[in-house]
Amino acid sequence: MFRIGIAGCGIAGTAAATHLARAGHRVTLFERAPALGPVGAGLLLQVSGQEALAELGLLEQVAAQSEPLSELRAVQVSGRGLIRLPYAAADPGWQGYGVARSTLFSALLGACRAAGAEVVSGAPIAGRERTAEGTWLLGPVGPSGSDGSERARYGPFDFVIAADGARSVLRTGCGLRHSCRPYGFGALWSTGPCVGVRGHLYQVVRGTSILIGILPMGNGRASFFWGDFQDRIDGLRARGFTAWRDEVLGLCPAAEEIYGELRSFEQTAFVTYAHVSCPCWHDDSLLLLGDAAHAMSPHLGQGANLALADASSFARHLAATGDFAEACRRHEAERRPVVAYLAQLSYLLTPFFQSGSRILGWGRDVALPLLTAVPPLRRRMARTLAGKAGGWWA
């Protein structure tokens, strides 16, 4: 039995805690926020994520509260089709799910608690300390992080896991080499009633500056997002909510139902993104999982699915080897080709959707309809969307 400390009570952290606690390990999960809850409105549960969730016995529970999705549809503001990509192009039995983040988070949090994991909220983790007793997790230095008072200290643990997101404080505090490149864009997210868009993710693009999306999440509700450049958001808010609403509805009339509940910017959350890469995801006592290891832009809809699959992979290799170092090596060997493919593809595709380049926007509008008309490419694109393309050559 290992003593394991996990920083970050998100999807990667709760999934890992559930797997490891069920295997008999003593798991403590730390969350910096004083109250536990999901961040974000909705997500795409891809085929890869469904398989990982099924391993935890939670797929039926989550799927019952979510919206089955047969395809991705994207159009230009003119109404001209840009892409229509069904999951069935890869496998007739495949589909995605539009999931409220709160639905997935509640299922995972309940499962990890039921498995015996201890969950500690209001406990930010900023570093670690190695001693003869084991590895300790450390809080920030003092209440303000700079007054020199004694740090909170948790442990000892046999090893620790950083699952605290793209801007992982623990990853930085432990000195693991990494690159974290913030994108110049983000998204305003909210939720609302929507029965006009069902069974598919619907997106509207205006050049490479604006990306609007409606993701049905079941129960007649949808997650809505407005993707835009960060430096435009303050100006958007200064113009006022009514002006923004009118602009949205002029570009995407299907969003009108959502604005029955959405009446102010206070009902939205602005989320930013970053591209994270690490030469190695572990050292002698720390493993990075999920976005802490490999965050990417949201355009392929893979983040939550990669986190679920990461947790499953590491737990499986730890059970097989009984050795932290060897489990990390096997986990990374298994996961890195898939993650590298999706990260590289996401990085290459992002400028074609959000960069401000007219030339790239024109190229996308010409190329995407042609690519999806070629059966082998269409099949490959559908496998990638589902999270089931094993790499560039797999």
269-282 per-position pLDDT tens digit: 999 999 999 999 99
Closest CA to 262 of 189, 186, 185: 189
Q: pTM to 2 decimals?
A: 0.94
Q: Which CATH class is domain 3-38+102-181+275-352?
A: alpha beta
83-96 per-position pLDDT tens digit: 999 999 999 999 99
Domain layout of the chain by residue ranges: 3-38+102-181+275-352
Mean pLDDT confidence for 231-252 = 92
SS3 category, 59: helix
215-229 per-position pLDDT tens digit: 999 999 999 999 998
**% of the chain residues with pLDDT over 90:** 85
More confident site: 224 or 234 = 224
The encoded tokens of residue 64 equal: 């019952």
380, β-bridge pairs? none
58-72 per-position pLDDT tens digit: 999 999 999 999 999
The pLDDT, as a whole number, for residue 144 is: 47
Q: Give the amino acid at 263.
A: R
Mean pLDDT confidence for 309-329 = 98
The pLDDT, as a whole number, for residue 136 is: 96
Say yes or no to pLDDT of 178 above 50.
yes
The pLDDT, as a whole number, for residue 102 is: 92
Phi, psi of 187 (to 5 degrees): -150, 140
- Mean pLDDT (the chain, rounded): 93
The pLDDT, as a whole number, for residue 231 is: 87
Do the Cβ atoms of 189 and 271 come closer than 8 Å? yes
